[in-house]
């Protein structure tokens, strides 16, 4: 017999009396043995639990913590506890494999996933979250979606009948609470100390449970309570470690006592369970009734269903008290009340817009006139613009659609009612909103400002949309509506607006037109007809070409505008449109007459971006027309900077990110041009490099031994050096490699190889097919490559030939004999080629006048000595305090006057008057009085007194591309 059953009493009274008499001195050896336990067992109350209970209790506690965190929307806590829950569940894997996944765990997974999905869809709620919570929400959502894939069937079963699963779980919780309450009652009965009997209540139960089946007849009251107790005790069964075969009277009496007490406790537990079930059924019925009522009321449109939390009863604010007479004064007063909340903290902007729409509807119902309706519409559009408080944010799609509709409605009202006068100069006191037969409506507001803001919002929408998505295409379709609104306002202001307002709306129309290529006008100019009948009908209905529209709008601005900015923008847009449609001479003349390059650096950044775009388009136009020098000069400033992308407003360079702060970066992004207005940067670079190649390669061949040779294009030379540094030369891949390979071929006079590198399928698809007149551009390029290759060949190999036949050259380069004759004649006249033409034999006779290597070295030495003397003079003059006439070249005795070191005076000098290799009165190879290849008094190829080929495209004064040789007599 086990020592735990060593003693017992025959009745309940004996048990209670023995509980009162707890002392170590109590007689009876068996009783002493029951109390002779370890010190730990005497000090603490032992509760023997199974491994399953321990693991499940740990899981339950973690789930409670997660649910509490869900209630307060603490996503960081949710994420942390969920990680712990996953680890705890992994530890319980052996128990879960035996028992199955507990339903409370499945319930949490399903509820947590639904909760996270609701939070994710709540955009406003996400914005209000702090950074840590928002990050945790994203991480937790990904984890739970991945984790729940392993439990899809269990979660689906739970979601099919969530109520039953919840009831089962609550029943288990109720059982636990019942047993715990029973144990607390027992503790209250024996408060004094640990007794044998109280210990037996805790410890004997699991062991005694094994014997209760045999002792069922000894005073049990209900078999159902026994079964339930068996289940409860069966879970907590542990091996006591000591069993006895002795069945005495003490054992049976003890068992009977224990059994009777537990029966009473079981009855209490049963009563509690029944009460809880009753409450649940009542609650379920009540919920069903409420759901039915809600469904009925929803059909009537009475109530809304809220997502979660405490339901807030939303009542639409009453616009006017019951019985109030609705007139203009009352509506204006209410309008002012609504507008007073505008801009205040906590104001619901969406509700404010809704109230204004409601007020407009009320004024329409009561026929208060169009004046008050126009005023309300003005405020609705202004509220739509104010919906995004941040200037950098763009309008959402629904707000944008509402804005366009409101502006259209406002314009409809203005067109239908000629007796409405609007303007910013109308004071609020002098407004006339009431219906009057004698006086027209007078409303304070500016429709032009609203349309300009609408145009800016459209630009912001396009800037903030991914240009490679379908959404960008859908948004771009709205440009038709925007242009339609601008056209309607344009026709309205032409009759009722001031000159300044007309100029402003004209500029808006120009900005939507200047960058678009008019394919229909281009087809008509070539004499081509539309392919289908519908296209022909459309062309006939469209009326005038974009060129006529631009001409009419821009000329009005030139004549009437008083602000420099609008006129400057109009001129640049006009030049851009001319250049885009290959009207080179009109574009060039307009640019030179405007003198914009003199003071464009003082303009604001958007105008400077427009100027850069215009210059680039002008250069591309010159290239298409075969004006290679003009194209190179126009593109030089943009391409040489290495920041073409940034200067054209087509993106920010990453290397300059450290130079600007966050605020400057936002400002720069707002200046960017929308993607559909971009200029292809690869096409731009290719045009520049090909132009540089056609200029630089013949020049390099002509000045191969010249120490004073200057680079025409630094970027082109950089690409050549990069190509030379490559250890392994394979076939060219990129556009730059194609140009470098073509340059090397041209340097050798091999025009066919050069042509194959410049014009091929890859280059056609990347560059040349992007031009409107593709075939004409290719033919021009082939012609230029042949001509420049011929010049390069003559410069490179002239020392090899005594004479060469022009017929041979014509066959080699596939040029007409007249063209070969023309090219060689120009080279001889310009003294680039020392030769003469023998007309009868059609040959070119070379002259041996090139300097020897010793002469070249002597010229270099003379040049360096001249620079040294100049520097010496400057240092001397600085020490003396005077400039000695060095910077005053008109005085006598100056350093470089008529008898100077390298001047062309009447009495000699280093470069004599009558000509020669490097001097002469009327020109020479590298200097002269009236011009030469590299300098002179009135101009030359690379610099001079009043200008030169490379004086600068944008520099004023007397230099550069705009060579004012006869400034007083004529001007472009």
pLDDT tens across 390-403, in order?
777 888 888 999 99
Q: What is the pLDDT of residues 362-387, one digit of tens each?
A: 888 888 888 889 999 999 999 998 88
The β-bridge relationship of strands 441-444 and 420-423 is: parallel
DSSP assigned state of 726: -
In terms of Cα–Cα distance, which of 320, 311, 326 is closest to 363? 326
Q: What is the pLDDT of residues 633-673, one digit of tens each?
A: 999 999 988 889 999 999 888 766 567 788 888 888 888 99
Sign, CA torsion 699/704/708/710: positive
Residue 656: what pLDDT?
60
Q: What is the pLDDT of residues 691-739, one digit of tens each?
A: 999 999 999 988 877 766 788 888 898 888 888 888 888 888 889 999 9
Distance CA 485, CA 405 (A): 10
Residue 410: what pLDDT?
92
Rounded mean pLDDT of the chain? 75
Confidence class for position 521, pLDDT limits 50, 70, 90? confident
Q: What is the pLDDT of residues 33-63, one digit of tens each?
A: 444 444 444 444 566 778 888 888 888 999 9
Residue appearing with tokens 């879960």:
96
**What is the mean pLDDT of the segment spanning 857-885?**
83
Q: Of 177-181, 663-667, 809-813, 837-841, which range is least confident?
A: 177-181
Residue 317: what pLDDT?
56
Q: What is the pLDDT of residues 93-138, one digit of tens each?
A: 888 888 888 888 899 999 998 999 888 888 888 888 888 888 888 8
Map 283-307 to HEC letters: HHHHHHHHHHHHHHHHHHCCCCCCC
Q: What is the pLDDT of residues 580-610, one digit of tens each?
A: 999 999 999 999 999 998 889 899 999 999 9
Confidence class for position 939, pLDDT limits 50, 70, 90? very low
Residue 55: what pLDDT?
85
Q: Of 155-169, 868-882, 942-956, which range is least confident?
A: 942-956
**What is the mean pLDDT of the segment spanning 152-170?**
71
Taking 60 as the threshold, does the pLDDT of residue 870 lie above it? yes
Instruction: Report pTM.
Output: 0.58
Taking 90 as the threshold, does the pLDDT of residue 483 lie above it? yes
Contacts for 220-223 with beta carbons within 8 Å, 24 or more apart?
220/259, 220/263, 221/263, 221/267, 222/263, 222/266, 222/267
C-alpha of 483 from chain center = 25
Q: What is the pLDDT of residues 207-261, one digit of tens each?
A: 434 333 433 344 444 444 444 444 444 444 334 344 444 444 444 445 544 454 4
Tokens of 156: 């689906």
Taking 50 as the threshold, does the pLDDT of residue 297 lie above it? no
In terms of Cα–Cα distance, which of 693, 698, 649 is closest to 671? 649
**What is the mean pLDDT of the segment spanning 260-281?**
61
Higher confidence at residue 181 or residue 647? 647
Distance CA 466, CA 474 (A): 11
**Residue 775: is it exposed, middle or buried by C-beta count within 10 angstroms (0-12/13-18/19+)?**
exposed
Taking 70 as the threshold, does the pLDDT of residue 296 lie above it? no
In order, the DSSP letters of 157-189 are HHHHSHHHHHHHHHHHHHHHHHHHHHHHHHHHH
Residue 537: what pLDDT?
54
Residue 23: what pLDDT?
41
Cα distances from 581 to residues 49, 512, 957, in angstroms, run 90, 16, 31
Contact 186, 201 (CB under 8 A): yes
First to last CA, the chain: 127
State what percent of residues in the chain have pLDDT above 90: 32
**What are φ and ψ of residue 288, in 5° steps?**
-60, -45
Q: What is the pLDDT of residues 345-358, one digit of tens each?
A: 777 888 888 889 98
Torsion angle (degrees, nearest 10) of CA 149, 154, 160, 165: -130
Distance CA 65, CA 75 (A): 12
Q: Of 300-304, 365-369, 797-801, which range is least confident?
A: 300-304
In terms of Cα–Cα distance, which of 714, 762, 717 is closest to 738? 762
**What is the mean pLDDT of the segment spanning 862-874?**
91
Residue 239: what pLDDT?
42
Residue 128: what pLDDT?
83
In terms of Cα–Cα distance, which of 222, 676, 654 is closest to 473? 676
Q: Which residues of 283-317 are buried (b: 16+ CB within 10 A; e: fewer)?
A: eeeeeeeeeeeeeeeeeeeeeeeeeeeeeeeeeee
């Amino acid at each position: 017999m086990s020592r735990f059953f060593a003693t017992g009493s025959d009745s309940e009274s004996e048990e209670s009396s023995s509980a009162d008499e707890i002392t170590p001195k109590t007689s009876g050896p068996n009783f002493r043995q029951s109390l002779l336990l370890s010190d730990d067992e005497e000090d603490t109350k032992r509760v023997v639990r199974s491994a399953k209970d321990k693991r499940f209790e740990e899981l339950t506690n973690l789930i409670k913590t997660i649910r509490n965190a869900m209630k307060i929307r603490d996503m960081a806590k949710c994420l942390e506890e969920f990680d712990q829950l996953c680890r705890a569940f992994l530890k319980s894997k052996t128990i879960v494999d035996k028992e199955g996944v507990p339903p409370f765990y499945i319930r949490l997974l399903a509820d947590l996933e639904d909760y996270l999905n609701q939070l994710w869809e709540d955009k406003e709620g996400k914005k209000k979250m702090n950074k840590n919570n928002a990050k945790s929400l994203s991480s937790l959502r990904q984890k739970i979606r991945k984790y729940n894939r392993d439990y899809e069937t269990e979660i689906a079963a739970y979601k099919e009948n969530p109520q039953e699963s919840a009831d089962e779980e609550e029943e288990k919780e109720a059982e636990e609470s019942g047993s715990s309450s029973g144990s607390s009652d027992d503790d209250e009965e024996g408060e004094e100390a640990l007794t044998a009997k109280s210990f037996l209540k805790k410890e004997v139960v699991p062991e005694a449970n094994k014997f209760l089946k045999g002792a069922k007849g000894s005073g049990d009251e209900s078999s159902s309570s026994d079964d339930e107790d068996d289940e409860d005790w069966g879970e907590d069964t542990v091996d006591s470690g000591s069993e006895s075969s002795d069945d005495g009277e003490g054992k049976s009496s003890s068992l009977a006592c224990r059994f009777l007490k537990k029966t009473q406790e079981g009855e209490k537990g049963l009563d509690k369970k029944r009460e809880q079930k009753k409450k649940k059924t009542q609650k379920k019925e009540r919920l069903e009734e409420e759901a039915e009522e809600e469904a009925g009321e929803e059909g009537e449109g009475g109530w809304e269903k809220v997502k979660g939390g405490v339901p807030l009863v939303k009542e639409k604010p009453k616009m006017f008290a019951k019985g109030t007479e609705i007139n203009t004064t009352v509506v204006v007063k209410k309008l002012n009340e609504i507008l007073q909340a505008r801009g205040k903290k906590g104001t619901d902007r969406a509700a404010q817009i809704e109230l204004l729409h409601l007020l407009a509807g009320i004024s329409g119902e009561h026929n208060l006139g169009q004046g008050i309706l126009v005023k309300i519409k003005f405020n609705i559009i202004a509220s739509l613009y104010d919906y995004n408080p941040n200037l950098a944010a763009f309008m959402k799609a629904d707000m944008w659609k509402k804005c366009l509709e409101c502006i259209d409605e406002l314009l409809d009202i203005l067109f239908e009612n000629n007796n409405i006068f609007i303007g910013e100069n109308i004071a609020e006191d002098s407004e006339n909103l009431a219906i009057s037969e004698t006086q027209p409506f007078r409303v304070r507001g500016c429709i032009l400002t609203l349309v300009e803001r609408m145009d800016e919002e459209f630009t912001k929408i396009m800037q903030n949309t991914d240009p490679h998505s379908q959404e960008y295409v859908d948004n771009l379709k709205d440009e038709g509506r925007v242009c339609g609104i601008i056209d309607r306002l344009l026709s309205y202001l032409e009759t009722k607006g001031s000159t300044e307002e007309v100029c402003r709306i004209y500029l808006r129309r120009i900005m939507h037109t200047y960058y678009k290529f008019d394919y229909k006008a281009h087809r008509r100019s070539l004499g081509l007809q539309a392919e289908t009948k519908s296209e022909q009908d459309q062309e006939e209905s469209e009326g005038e070409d974009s060129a006529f529209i631009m001409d009419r709008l821009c000329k009005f601005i030139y004549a009437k505008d008083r602000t420099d900015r609008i006129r400057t923008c109009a001129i640049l847009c006009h030049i851009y449109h001319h250049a885009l449609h290959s009207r080179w001479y009109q574009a060039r003349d307009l640019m030179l007459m405007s003198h914009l390059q003199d003071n464009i650096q003082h303009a604001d950044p958007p105008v400077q971006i427009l100027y850069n775009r215009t210059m680039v388009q002008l250069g591309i136009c010159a290239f298409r027309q075969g004006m290679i020098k003009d194209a190179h000069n126009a593109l030089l400033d943009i391409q040489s900077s290495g920041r073409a992308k940034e200067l054209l407003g087509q993106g920010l360079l990453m290397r300059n990110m450290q130079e600007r702060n966050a605020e400057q970066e936002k400002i720069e992004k707002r200046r960017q041009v929308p993607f559909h207005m971009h200029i292809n940067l690869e096409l731009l670079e290719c045009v520049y490099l090909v132009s540089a190649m056609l200029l630089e390669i013949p020049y390099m061949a002509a000045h191969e031994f010249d120490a004073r040779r200057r680079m025409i294009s630094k970027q082109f030379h950089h690409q050549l050096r990069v190509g030379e540094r490559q250890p392994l030369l394979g076939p060219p891949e990129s556009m730059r490699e194609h140009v470098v390979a073509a340059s090397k071929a041209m340097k050798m006079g091999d025009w066919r190889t050069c042509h194959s590198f410049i014009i091929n399928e890859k280059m056609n698809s990347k560059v040349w097919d992007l031009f409107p007149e593709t075939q004409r551009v290719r033919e021009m390029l082939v012609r230029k490559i042949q001509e420049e290759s011929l010049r390069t060949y003559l410069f490179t190999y002239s020392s090899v030939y005594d004479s060469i036949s022009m017929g041979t050259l014509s066959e080699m380069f596939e040029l007409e004999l007249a063209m070969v004759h023309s090219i060689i004649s120009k080279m001889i006249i310009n003294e680039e080629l020392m030769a003469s033409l023998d007309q009868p034999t059609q040959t070119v006779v070379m002259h041996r006048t090139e300097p020897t290597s010793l002469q070249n070295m002597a010229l270099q030495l003379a040049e360096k000595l001249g620079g040294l003397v100049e520097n010496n003079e400057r240092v001397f003059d600085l020490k003396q305090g005077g400039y000695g006439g060095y910077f005053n070249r008109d005085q006598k005795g100056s350093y470089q006057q008529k008898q100077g070191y390298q001047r062309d005076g009447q009495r000699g000098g280093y470069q004599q008057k009558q000509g020669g290799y490097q001097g002469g009165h009327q020109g020479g190879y590298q200097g002269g009085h009236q011009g030469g290849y590299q300098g002179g008094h009135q101009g030359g190829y690379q610099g001079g007194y009043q200008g030169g080929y490379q004086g600068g495209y944008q520099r004023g004064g007397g230099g550069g591309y705009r060579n004012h040789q006869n400034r007083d007599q004529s001007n472009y």
